[in-house]
Structure 1
């Protein structure tokens, strides 16, 4: 049995992964932005899931969320699933929050970060970005390039912790829309597999995966100088270095 935190698990792929993993006998910690949003996962809580609450667009709430997780005890895996598609909170939610949670949650055995095929269109420049969300300076594609680079950077810095990025595909969730062509089950299968499987491939690190198959990410995601610049920017913004 594995204890797994899934951010952004009140709906969409996060909720689907939580439901599947709970059904498979794992301990699951679900996350919602507010306590009111926990009503969306009441059925999972009734089945034994634990819960944490915090707005990932807010640095203080993200820090408090990490404290809540640590108070629950060690986690075996974290699936950084939460994300937004548009608006000024794209960088805080999609990049800053997974960075800060990675830095603050007691080191798990595995890390999974939700990327997107759209990261291939991201810009590998960090100049002029507003990480606070006060104004929009980065696109969804940019944010997914950054979080993919984060996943690969963590795999380099923490060699004993498998860290991977996942493209879930364009699936019919609230974000993807009802006409999305990809398979919803395949959209959350890979992150569940990476978080729990004993398959040697699932225990590898530094990968970018699509439907349990490795793919090559944007070249910047594997660039150590780019990774280091990204980590330095995020450390300066949050006041929390990634040790």
Structure 2
């Protein structure tokens, strides 16, 4: 039995993964952006051992989530599932001055990785759209470029793979992997999504709890419980390090090497 924390698990793939792992006998802690969503998560995933609440679009909220998780003790796995999609308009969270997409999809996984007590496994949800996104790390916050929601989303999903691979390299005691769930009909994916929703949550649950050799590998990218080649830029150590340095600069929180 494993203890797993899942961000963004009041709905969609995060909730589905939580429900599956609860059925498998694991201890699962859920997450909701606010009290209403946290209540929904607990209602929909009967058997969860708890829920934490916090807005991952705000660095203050990210820190609050990390503090709540750490008070619960060390987890075996953390799944960085929370995300916002490519339909986002240019929205700046005024408290931190960060684009909403970057805050939730890049900064939240970075800060939670650093601030939560180090687990045995880390799982990061990416997207097939990360291919060819381009690692424009000199303009993470889209201050010079004209806003493009799809491009900003794709970049943030590239960041998630870079982060997963950087962790795998720098923290050899942690199994760290990224995955794409496919284009599935969640609230983010939309009703027209063409991939199998029933498959969308299985890989993250497997990477968090599986005992076979592939599930216990590290520094890999997966689709439907099989390895898939990520964008080649994600293997470049200098680019991984550049993302960590950029996130350190924005957040003021250093990644422990």
TM superposition score normalised by structure 1:
0.95
Matched with 1:79 is: 79
Matched with 1:168 is: 181
Contact 2:80 2:124 in 1 (8 A): yes
Matched with 2:198 is: 185
1:115-161 per-position Cα deviation (integer Å, ceiling 9, x unaligned): 000000311221122289xx957611010011110000000001111
Distance 2:216 2:46 in 1: 31
1:42-71 per-position Cα deviation (integer Å, ceiling 9, x unaligned): 325652431001111100110111000000
Is 1:118 aligned to residue 123 of structure 2? no
Q: Which moved more, 1:192-201 or 1:117-126?
A: 117-126
TM superposition score normalised by structure 2:
0.90
State the 4+ residue runs in structure 1 displaced beyond 4 angstroms.
135-138
Distance 2:156 2:137 in 1: 11
Q: Which moved more, 1:36-45 or 1:76-85?
A: 36-45
Matched with 2:43 is: 43
1:62-121 per-position Cα deviation (integer Å, ceiling 9, x unaligned): 011100000011100001000001233111100000000000000000000000000003
Alignment of 1:140-219 (within 5 A): 140-219=153-232
SS at the partner of 1:139? helix
Contact 2:17 2:205 in 1 (8 A): yes
Contact 1:45 1:51 in 2 (8 A): no
Count of matched residue pairs? 241
Matched with 1:221 is: 234
Matched with 1:7 is: 7
Contact 1:17 1:189 in 2 (8 A): yes
Contact 1:148 1:221 in 2 (8 A): yes
Contact 2:29 2:48 in 1 (8 A): no
Matched with 2:141 is: 130
Match of 1:96 among 99, 107, 129: 107
Matched with 2:118 is: 107
Matched with 2:64 is: 64
Q: Cα offset for 1:219?
A: 1.2
SS at the partner of 2:201? helix
Distance 1:107 1:44 in 2: 28
RMSD: 1.7
**Which runs of no fewer than 5 residues in structure 2 stay unpaired?**
90-98
